[in-house]
A = this chain, B = another copy of it.
Amino acid sequence: MKNKNRKMLKVIVSCALCVAAIFSVNSQEAVRPATPPARPAFRMPNIVVSPEVLPDNKVTFRLFSPKATEVSINGDWMTGVGASEPLVRNDTGLWTITVGPLTPEFYGYVFTVNGVRVLDPGNPQIKRDGTRNESILLVPGKESELYAVNNVPHGTLAKIWYNSPVLKLNRRMYVYTPAGYEDGKDEYPVFYLLHGGGGDEDAWTTLGRTCQIMDNLIAQGKAKPMIVVMTNGNPLQAAAPGEAPARPATAAGESMFAMGQGLFEESLVRDVIPYIKSHYRVLANRDNRALAGLSMGGMQTLNLTGKYPALFGYIGVMSMGLVDRSAMGLQPDPEQDAKLEALKNSGYKLYWIGCGVDDFLYNSVINLRNTLDKTSFKYTYRESTGGHTWANWRIYLSEFAPLLFK
C-alpha cells in the first residue's frame, strides 16, 4: 500500500513537472490568464477569477487593469438601453463589482474599458449574436435549469452542408438528433426552427441553448424525442460569417428583394425538407412536422404556413405578427384571409403564438390575434413579460417543444 502510494506520488510529481514544463512554453497556455473553473489543475498564481457566482446568486466580476480610468459592465440582467454599472478600482488596479442576487438565467455581458467594448478576459465562454460577441454567465437555479448542461443523455449536433437549387447555394444548417438516434432504428418527428434577422444557423444553438433545452426536456420526459433542424434564414447567405466562401458584397436591395420574394421559404420546402427526409430517419408527414420561428423567422413561418397550409401540423410564431403593410406603403395581401382560412381548415394540431408585452412588435401580434379571432381560428397565446429577447425565445422554446407531436 505504501509502495503504491509512493509510486502514485512519483507519477504525479513527474507528470506535474512534465506538464508544467510543457505549459510554461506551450503557445496554447503561455501568458494566458487561465479561468479557474475550466482547468484548476493548471491555475496560475494571481489570476483573476471572473465571473464568480456566490452562494446567494450574487455575482462578482473582476478585471485587472491598473491603467484604465473607467470600467463598467453591461449585462442582460439590466434594464434600459445602454444601462451599465461602474466597477470600482482598488489600489492594485483590480476593478470589481458585485451585482444581484440575479435570477437564474443564461446571461450575456461585456465590460466597457475607457470607452472600448471588452469581453471578460477571465472568462473563455462567449456567445455570438450576429456580429457581436458577449461573455457568458449561467446563474444556476430553477429558472435556468433547462439551459444548463446536466447529467442527462445528450443529442448530437451536426453541422451539415446541403445543396439549395432554389437559392443556388451550397448552404450550411445544424441538425440536432436526440440521444438514442444513433443507436436505434426508430423514425423521428422533425421540428424546423428559424432564427431572426441578424442571426444565422448558429443562433438557436448558442443563444437559444437548443441542445441543452431539448436534451433536458427529452430526458425529463417532457418533450418527445425529435430531430431539430436549424437553418440559415438569410436567402443570400450560405453560412455564418467566416464559415462560407467569400462572395462579392451584396447590394442592400438584392438582399431585401430575395427576402421579400420568400426565397428562403421556398428553399425550406423544396431543398431542406427533402434533404432531411432522404438523409435522416424521419416520420415524413404533417403530424410529425413542426415549424417555429422568431421575429424574421416568425414572418417566414407566417409566409410558409400561409402558402403551404398542409405542410406543418405544429406551428409556432414568436415575437412576430401581422405587420401593418400600409405603414410600409404596401397594399394589404389580398390573399391573406384566404390563406388563413385554408390553414384554419387544414387540420393543423397546434398554432402557438408567443410574445412579450414589451416587444416592439407587440402590436403586430395583437393584429394577428384579432385577425385570427375574426374567423375563430384556434390558437394558443402565450404572453410573457419582457421584449424582443433571447431570454423570451428560450422560454418559448422550452414551452413550445413539449407540446409537439402528442
Binding site for B on A (CB under 8 A): 8, 10-19, 21-23, 25-42, 63, 65-70, 81-82, 93, 111, 113-119, 121, 124-126, 128-133, 136, 138, 140, 148-151, 153-161, 170, 172, 179, 182-183, 196-199, 203, 234, 237, 239, 241-246, 249-257, 259-261, 279, 295-296, 323, 325, 328-330, 360-361, 387-390
Contacts and interface: CB of A to CB of B under 8 A. Distances in A.
Given A149-B243, A253-B16, A118 B118 contact: yes
Given A12-B257, A29-B198, A17 B328 contact: yes
Contacts of A330: 10, 14
Contacts of A329: 10, 13-14, 17
Contact of A182 (B17, B140, B252, B279): B279
Contacts of A17: 328-329
Contacts of A14: 260, 325, 328-330
Given A17-B328, A37-B249, A160-B182, A170 B199 contact: no
Nearest to A149: B245
- Report the 10 A-B pairs with minimum CB-CB distance, sorted nearest first: A67-B115, A28-B198, A38-B241, A15-B256, A41-B255, A15-B260, A154-B161, A158-B158, A11-B260, A67-B114
Contact of A116 (B121, B125, B132, B136): B121
From A14, A150, A261, residue with most partner B Cβ within 10 Å:
A14
A18 B114 contact: no
Nearest to A25: B360
**Is chain A's binding surface mostly helix, strand, loop or mixed?**
loop
24 contacts: A10-B329, A14-B328, A14-B329, A15-B256, A22-B361, A23-B197, A26-B198, A27-B389, A29-B197, A32-B129, A37-B249, A40-B249, A41-B255, A65-B116, A68-B114, A68-B115, A116-B118, A124-B133, A126-B126, A138-B242, A148-B246, A153-B161, A155-B161, A156-B161
Nearest to A151: B245
Given A14-B328, A197-B28, A197-B29, A66 B115 contact: yes
A255 to B, nearest CB: 4
Copies in the complex: 2
Nearest to A154: B161
A322 to B, nearest CB: 12
A250 B246 CA distance: 43
Given A93-B115, A119-B133, 5 more contacts: A12-B253, A17-B329, A22-B361, A113-B116, A156-B158
Nearest to A360: B25
Given A197-B23, A256-B15, A32 B241 contact: no
Contact of A31 (B27, B82, B133, B160): B82
Given A34-B131, A132-B124, A259 B389 contact: no
